[in-house]
Each structure stands twice: as C-alpha cells, then as structure tokens.
Structure 1
Amino acid sequence: MDWSVLSVVVLFTTCSASLPNFIVIFADDLGFGDLGCYGHPTSLTPHIDRLAANGLRFTDFYCTSPVCSPSRASLLTGRYQTRSGIYPGVLYPGSRGGLPLNETTIAELLKPLGYATAAVGKWHLGVGPNGMYLPTHQGFDQYLGIPYSHDMGPCWNLTCFPPDVKCFGLCDIGTVAVPLMHQDVIKKQPVNFLDLESSYSNFVTDFISTSAFSNQPFFLYYPSHHTHYPQYAGPRAAGASLRGPFGDALLEFDNTVGHILDTLEKTGTINNTLIFFTADNGPELMRMSRGGNAGPLKCGKGTTYEGGMREPAIAFWPGVITPGVTHELASTLDILPTIARLSGARLPKVQLDGVDMTELMLRHGKSKRATMMFYPTDPSEKYSMFALRLDKYKAHFYTRGATHSGTVPDQDCQVFSVLKAHDPPLIFDLESDPTENYPLSLDNEHNLHSLLEKILEVKARFEASMVFGESQILKGSDPGLAPCCTPLCQPKPSCCQC
C-alpha cells in the first residue's frame, strides 16, 4: 500500500469531526463533448470548468447504462443494474417497482457514521405504493425534487423559458402533471420550471450550511434534470449562452454548481469536501442541436457505443487531489467503494462491481479497474452484455442503433440499425480509434487471437458471477400510483394540480 494514501484515509477516519464531506453531481443526458473543459467551443460552463482546472479530469469514465434509471441505480449501489433489477428501460410515474429496499445506497452506507444526507433533483428510481421507493426510504434524510424524468408528464402548455416560451415538443401524455416533492409530499403540481433551479440552490445552501454549523459531515447527491429534454432555464440563464436553449439549460446547471462552491467556501468546508461530477448517459442525438454532443465518440443515448456510455467526469478536492488528467479506466460503479474507503464506512456484504479509486484520485496512480461491461437498455440472460472493454480494447458482441440516437448521419446509430450479433466480436483499439470506426482484423493482426481468448475468458468469468435480480420494471404500472396532490379528485389525471 502507498503510505501517503493511507495517511489521508487515516486522517479522515480517526476523528468524526474530520470526516470528509461528499457531493456527487450527476448531469442528465450530457454528452462527452458538451462541456467547455472537454473541448466544446461555445459551451459556457465556468464553474464546472473550474472543477476540471483544479481537479482530476477523467477521459475514460463510464456509466453502466445508456438510459436513466439503471445508470442511477448503479451509481448509488456500486452494482450493475442487472443485479438490482432496474431493467429493462426506465421507471415511470405509476411503476409498481423501484430500487429494492434491500439494496444499500451510498447514503445508507454513510448514515451509521453520523452523516447528514440529502438528495435534490431527479430521483428516477421509483415512487411506488405510498412513496416506498423515494429517497427518504433509501437513506436520505431530506429530498427535494421531481421523482422521475421531467418529460414524464404533459409539457406542451408549460413554460420552459421566460417570459412565456412554451416547452419545445411533446412529452408524455395521459399521466399526471410533473410534481415537485419535498420529502414524500407534493409541494407543487405542475412544477414551475422557471424557479426550479433557484429552489434547488436554496435547498443545497441550507443543507450545507446547517451541516457545517452543527459540525456534522454530509453527503449531498445532486442528480440534475439538466440537460435532458425538454430544456428549460430561468431568467438568469435564458438567452445568456451561445448554444441556444440547450446552452441556456447547461448554463443554469453550471450556475447551481457555482452556488454549491460558493456555499462550501462561505462555510469553510470546501477543503474537507470531495466533489465528484459526472453524468448518467450520453446525449439524446434525436433532438439534434437540442440534444447534446458526444464529441468524437460514436452515437449517443440508447446505444452501447462510446457516445452512449463514456461520460465527462471530474474529481475535485482542494489540497488533496492534485489537478491533472487521467486516462485510467473508471466508472460510476467505483464511487460507492471510494466513498466507503475515504470515510471508513463498512461495505455492504453483497457482490459489488465497483473498485476503490482512492489511489487513482489521490496519487494519479493506476486504476484497479481493467474491464467495463456494456449492457443495453434491455439486458437479458439470453443476450447479457453487448460489449466489453479490456484495458484499451473494446469488443462488441452485439450492436444496435436506438431511437434516442436517431437523426445523425451514422447509420449504425439509428433505430433502423437492428440487432446484429458478431462472432468473432468487433474489436476496437480505443486509444487510437475512440470513434469505433475501424475494427481490428483478426486475419491481419495475429496477436489479436490471444487478446480475443482473454476477452472471452473475462466475459465468461463475469457472466458466471452475474445473478439477475427480479426486474422491477416488468412489475408493470398502475396509474393510481402516479403522484397526485389531490388523490381523490376527478377526473384524473388532469385534476392533479395544486
């Protein structure tokens, strides 16, 4: 063990007053090429860029699914979504299932150590009967937010930009208006998008300030709605970017990150706080310029190509993490075991898929992760994983396009690109070809035969360890479970307003 790393861990675990604080910021549908610090020429993200300039920026960081709910489950549990049953697809307002209560979240990991815990923003891991799957039943003391995706309700008549610019396009119909919830109580329905981020910033400020005043370590989980469709922005951000509505939404998100940093500085907690920033899946390219940018990567949301699952990621901790860039392999799965290591929390006694990133973050050392598995939106024991990354190589056993990645010229990304099996798999060298355009030839490069044998061995060993949990999404939906602030009103769902 590196003794300098051990000394940092000991420093923060020997005295409860010195336990580090943790903030996880999770963007929504943000592409690898959307941020200024990742090369976008017109994105205005000064506060996120500050995290990158003064933190560790990852170039090879992955989520576990190219859509929302399963990706969020993996981050909070350190386990692939197939284990917890958050598949296929995503949860809806009336879903009967949710993140199983026997799964251990980061919040539940930290509670025994005396941490204050809060979630603010997009939950999307189920509501369920009597709100049984909401954050307050999953280890979080406080929650303010929309419990699912903000397009999962009628939006055509809602205002997304001031003074009265209606939301672009159509969202779900035939369900309740999108609610804003505090704890498990609806505060407003439908939500007012124009002041939503201000409400979140005030909540975050109060939570951090109260925790600091009481000398209580805290964990804040901020899964933002930005930059998911339909984009929205309040008066301070609307029209202020160079990228139109998408850029305005991204700027508003960045402003909230700035509020978090300001609050940490004012409370004197910034040097004792690890901020980890990343995103849930790639950009929704079907929305064209309003859907985000994957940079040089192939395809986007809904696919297991790099554009669907490789994400921007930044670890920021002043005085502890030395600024720089790492090309080491890492994942959202690794956040839980890393927080456990730094806090001294006990890991849950389950099969974890994450690895500790402490050495990687604090010393810019080697990653403990050598592989990454790529599951589609609808994994099954029959098809299992679609692709596997081993070191710098990625093997595709199946490929398929997606509606979310339609409209781009690359036909591989479009929904008309049906499921194709590849035997032998398509193999790409992601260091020389991150665009996944040029599969390596087994005929011309004979050294690849031993690589393929190793890939197949790793795949077989991993699949032997995978036990699929009962699908929470296949439990179906009940319209009566959709959150309604006046549950006895008629006619539903239009009467659910307050």
Structure 2
Amino acid sequence: MMDFMCIIALFALITVRCACAAPPNFVLLFADDLGYGDLGCFGHPSSLTPNLDRLAANGLRFTDFYVTSPVCSPSRAALLTGRYQTRSGIYPGVLYPGSIGGLPTNETTIAKVLKSKGYSTAIVGKWHLGVGLNGTYLPTRHGFDNYLGIPYSHDQGPCQNLTCFPPDVKCHGYCDQGVVSVPLMLNENIKQQPADFLELEKAYSEFASEFISMAVKNNRPFFLYHPSHHTHYPQYAGVDYAGKSPRGPFGDSLMEFDGTVGKIVQTLEQTGVLNNTLIFFTGDNGPELMRQSRGGSAGLMRCGKGTTYEGGMREPAIAYWPGFIQPGVTHALASSLDILPTFAKLAGAVLPDVQLDGVDMTNILFNRGSSERQTFFYYPVGPDEKNSVFAVRWKNFKAHYYTQGALHSLGTPDSNCSLLALLHHDPPLLYNLEADPAENYNLKGADWDSVRNQIQAIKEQFEASMVFGESEIGKGKDSALEPCCIPNCTPKPKCCQCTSAL
C-alpha cells in the first residue's frame, strides 16, 4: 500500500510541477542510419558516446522504440506529423534533389503545433522532406522559423572529390552522380555548395546554441529539431573528432554527433533552462549493413536498413528532463509517432484535426507506467494498398505477413537480410520479441492460433482505416528543381559551385 501511495504522490507532484512551470522547451535529436546496437549505453564496446550515455544514465532509456520506415524520408515524415507516411504520401522510398513532390504543406508538423503556443522553432541538419519549386517544401514552409542544413541526404550528390576527414582525406565512395553537389542552406537560401564537411558540425552546434540563447533572451519557449547527418554514409568528421575513436571512421562521425549533443546540453545549462527542457533522442532507421564496418550495428536485432525485421525499425531512444523524468529503463512499446502528441500535451497545444497514429507518452515518461500503445505496424520501403502492412507487433508478439531483404542489409551471414524476393507467409511467422528479440524462433502450431487470430483482426481493422495519400515520390523528378546557388547557370550541375565561410 505504501508503494502505491508513493506512486500517487509522485504523479501528483509531477502534475503540479508541469502545471505551474513555464511552458517546457523541447530538443529533438534524430540520428541517421544509427543501429540499435551502436551507442555505448546500448551495449557497443568501442563507441565513444559520453554525452548520449550521460543522458541515458540520468534519463529514461527505451528498449522497445520504433520508427515507421526502414529508410529516411518516410520515417522523418511520420516523426514530424505523428502519422504513418502512407497518409501523407511520403512513399515509396525517399525524396531526391530534383523531386517534384515533398511533404504536403497541409500536413501539420510538430513545429506548427508548437508555434500555435508561441514557441520559437528551428531545425539544424538534414531535412529530406523535399525542396520543390521555389522552396515549396522546405522547413520554413512547415512551421520552422529558422533552418540551417542540407535539405536531403549528404550522399545525394557527387562526393568523390570532397574532403570528409582532415587534413584532406577524400570521402569514401562516389555517392550519387549526375546531380548537383550538396548545398548548405540557411532558411531558403544556399549558403555554400558543396557543403564543407570538415566545418559543418561546428556550424550546426553554433547555430543551435545561438538559437537557444536568443529564445531564452526573448523569454520564448523553443523547439529545436536536430536531425543529424551522422552516421549516414559517407562518414565525415572535423579536426576535433577525426581519428579520436577506436571504432574508425564510423566511430569518429558518431563521436562528432555526440559532441554536438554535448554542446547543446551545455548551452541549455549556461542559459539556465536545462531543468525546463525535455530532450528526446532517437534515430531514423537501422544501420546500412552493406557498408560493413562503416555501416553501423543493429546489435542482437535481425537485419538492418531497408527491412521490416527488428534491425531495420527498432531504434535506440532516450528521454531526459532533470527533475521530471526519473533515471531508468522502460520496456513500454513506443514509437516516433508518439512524439507529436506528447509534446503537444506538455505544451498545452491542440492536436491537429486529422487522423493521428501517435499516442501520448507522458505516463511512460513521468510514471514509468504502461503505454497507451499496444500495437505497431511495420511498413516496407515501398508500401502499396494491396500488400500494405508487412508485419504487426501486438504486445510482445510480432507476426510477419511478408518479408523482403534489402541491398542496404547486404553482406550479413543471415541471407534473409538481403533476399530481394518478396515472400508471403501464410500462416504468418510469429515471434515473441520479449523472449526472442532477434526473431530466431518461429512459434508454430495450434497453441499459437489465438495470438495469430488476434493480430489478424487488429491488422484488418487498421488497414480498413488507412487512407493512402497520393504518392509524393511518385510525382517524379525534374533536374531543374535541383537546388543551385547560381540560378540558370550552365552547364548544370557542374556550374553549381559557391564557396563561402560558414
């Protein structure tokens, strides 16, 4: 009885503190192609991530946190809107420099929700939700007041002659050819093309610090979204981190990202708002295993990027808020979909009047309680209305209706990770993820029919409610839309070169 009363008292205290305090600030950190097993706090023996490890040690570490896609653009769309990417049309695959489409401007992002409550909003890093004609889809059109970053993946432009590590170590590989070099944009203007990778992270951390400081000076609550380029291929790092990790180039780039996290936390401390700021960290999808030692680790999870196995869509996640979130670990089921409704509740903002797929996580965060989420749906890289959901998690059970490997996960000992043939499973493969998170042991026989039947009913109900939006990626590409610092120059793309100090 005493333990129960203590819990009630703690909940009441937290509720009162939330009600009386100034509106909380939010910092959302989003890593790129980071595997479940890549951080020191998630078990990697040679990664140096002291700042993220410190957030995990003093915050809440999630063991069962999911993103909605095993590739970049759709995962980011779902994160920012609280809706599966099929609703907003960010499928199949990812957006490109010359993509005609992008995240529709009638979608309501976290930034728009928080701006309605007077928040200052900024994004620093990788957008990857479209550029479009005259910047139609840039962050500044989606509720962000300020933006500094590369508007898509930094491998979506030729990189063979670019320097990724000091003093002049060229980037590993060639990246995409025949398109413009990657631009660094400030709001809607190109500041530098190609971006200087050696100075990029320094520019990002300075931008983030200045944004926080200005918001505090103006007595404004703020939302900072930092979708990092790290640890996506090709890895890069500046002079402060190159060669400093025992894990090689991947480790150096991860360490540089961790350093930026540390500088953001330091700024929050120096400006006196750390205790009124919720920091949430996760990643966009699993590791690109085809890059081998340069591609990350899914730990004990099966496969990686591009697949609907656990390694493709289960991500490390950490929530940190001193005095509000008690240190520990939660096994509650949660998703990137849940961030928008959680931030909205804490800010006292009204949820958008659309079909949301996210749920409020405050019971998990503040009470170490159960999740409002009991199910999660795994969409493949290229979903369609016929095959739709590939797998469903219900409580601790996961049923695979379809499996398909991916080139992104090529090279692992498990041939299923790279088997490109689409396999239909009837009855579906069934795993108990609590006992078998590596998905090794299919639960067979009549003893498990009731679980399969329950999941089947959940799947049918969900798919009946899903309305696929028009595919934005299906609208195609137009090279004239590729961002160029010298409009109408020739010959394009080679003429799109502008150097300036960051």
Give, in whole Å, the separation in 2 of the partners of 1:469 and 1:168.
Answer: 37
Alpha-carbon distance in 2 for matches of 1:288, 1:6: 49
How is 1:155-304 mapped onto 2 (pairs within 5 angstroms)? 155-304=159-308
- 1:488 to partner: Cα distance: 1.6
Q: Give secondary structure in 2 for the equivalent of 1:315.
A: strand
Asked if 1:456 is matched to 2:456, the reply is yes
Structure 1 CA distance, aligned partners of 2:433 and 2:480?
Answer: 47
- Give the 3-state SS of the residue equivalent to 2:399 in structure 1: strand
Residue 426, structure 1, aligned to residue 429, structure 2: yes
The answer to whether the aligner puts 1:480 opposite 2:480 as a matched pair is: yes
1:458 CA drift (Å):
0.3
CA RMSD of aligned residues (A): 1.2
Q: Which residue of 2 aligns with 1:345?
A: 349
Q: Which residue type is aligned with residue 36 of structure 2?
A: F
Cα deviation digits, residues 132-162 of structure 1 (max 9, x gap):
1000000000000000000000000000000
* Deviation readout 1:86-131 (Å, 9 max, x if unpaired): 0000000000100011110000001111100000000000000000
**Match for residue 408 of structure 2?**
404
- Partner residue of 2:43? 39
Structure 1 CA distance for aligned equivalents of residues 232 and 17 of structure 2? 39
Q: Is the 8 A contact 1:13 1:342 kept in 2?
A: no
Q: Tell me the SS of whatever aligns to 2:225.
A: strand
Which string of whole-angstrom CA distances, capped at 9 and with x for unpartnered residues, describes residues 348-403 of structure 1?
A: 01000000000101010001100000000000001101000000000000001000
Equivalent-residue separation in structure 1 for 2:456 and 2:44 (angstroms): 37
Find the counterpart in structure 2 of residue 100 from structure 1. 104
Q: Alpha-carbon deviations, 1:316-357, whole Å to 9, x = none?
A: 000100000001100000000000111110000100000000
Asked whether the equivalents of residues 12 and 343 of structure 1 are also in contact (C-alpha less than 8 Å), the reply is no
Aligned residue for 1:466? 466
What amino acid sits opposite 2:425 in the alignment? H
What SS does the aligned partner of 2:401 have? Answer: strand
Q: Which amino acid aligns with 1:427?
A: L
**CA 1:5–1:465 in structure 2 vs 1: closer, same or farther (change >3 Å)?**
farther
Indicate if the aligned counterparts of 1:13 and 1:343 stay in contact, CA closer than 8 A.
no
Q: Secondary structure at the match of 1:292?
A: coil
Which residues of structure 1 form unaligned runs of 5+? none
Q: Percent identity?
A: 67
Paired with 1:7 and 1:302, the residues of 2 have a C-alpha distance of 44
Normalised by the size of structure 1, how large is the TM-score?
A: 0.97
The letter for the 1-side match of 2:266 is: D
SS at match of 2:33: coil
1:304, 1:374 within 8 Å by CA — same for their partners in 2? Answer: yes
Question: Which residue pairs with 2:319 in the alignment?
Answer: 315
Which residue of the partner structure matches residue 387 of structure 2?
A: 383
> What is the DSSP-based 3-state SS (H/G/I as helix, E as strand, rest coil) of the residue aligned with 1:113?
coil
Select the residue among 73, 93, 99 that pairs with 2:77: 73
Tell me the SS of whatever aligns to 2:440: coil
Structure 1 residue 7: deviation in Å?
5.9
Give the 3-state SS of the residue equivalent to 2:469 in structure 1. coil
Tell me the equivalent position of 1:134. 138
Separation in structure 2 between the aligned mates of residue 182 and residue 211 of structure 1, nearest angstrom: 18
- 1:83 aligned onto 2:87: yes
Q: Give the 3 Å change call, closer, same or farther, for CA 80–3 of structure 1 in structure 2.
A: farther
SS in 2 for 1:337: helix
Could you tell me how far apart the structure 2 residues matched to 1:372 and 1:27 are? 21
The structural deviation recorded for 1:188 is: 0.2
- Partner Cα separation in structure 2 for residue 70 and residue 32 of structure 1: 19
* Alpha-carbon distance between aligned partners in 1 of 2:218 and 2:356, rounded to the nearest angstrom: 33
Alpha-carbon contact 1:328-1:367 (below 8 Å) kept: yes
Compute the displacement of 1:426 (Å).
Answer: 0.1
Could you say if the C-alpha distance between residues 417 and 98 of structure 1 is closer, same or farther in structure 2, counting changes exceeding 3 Å?
Answer: closer
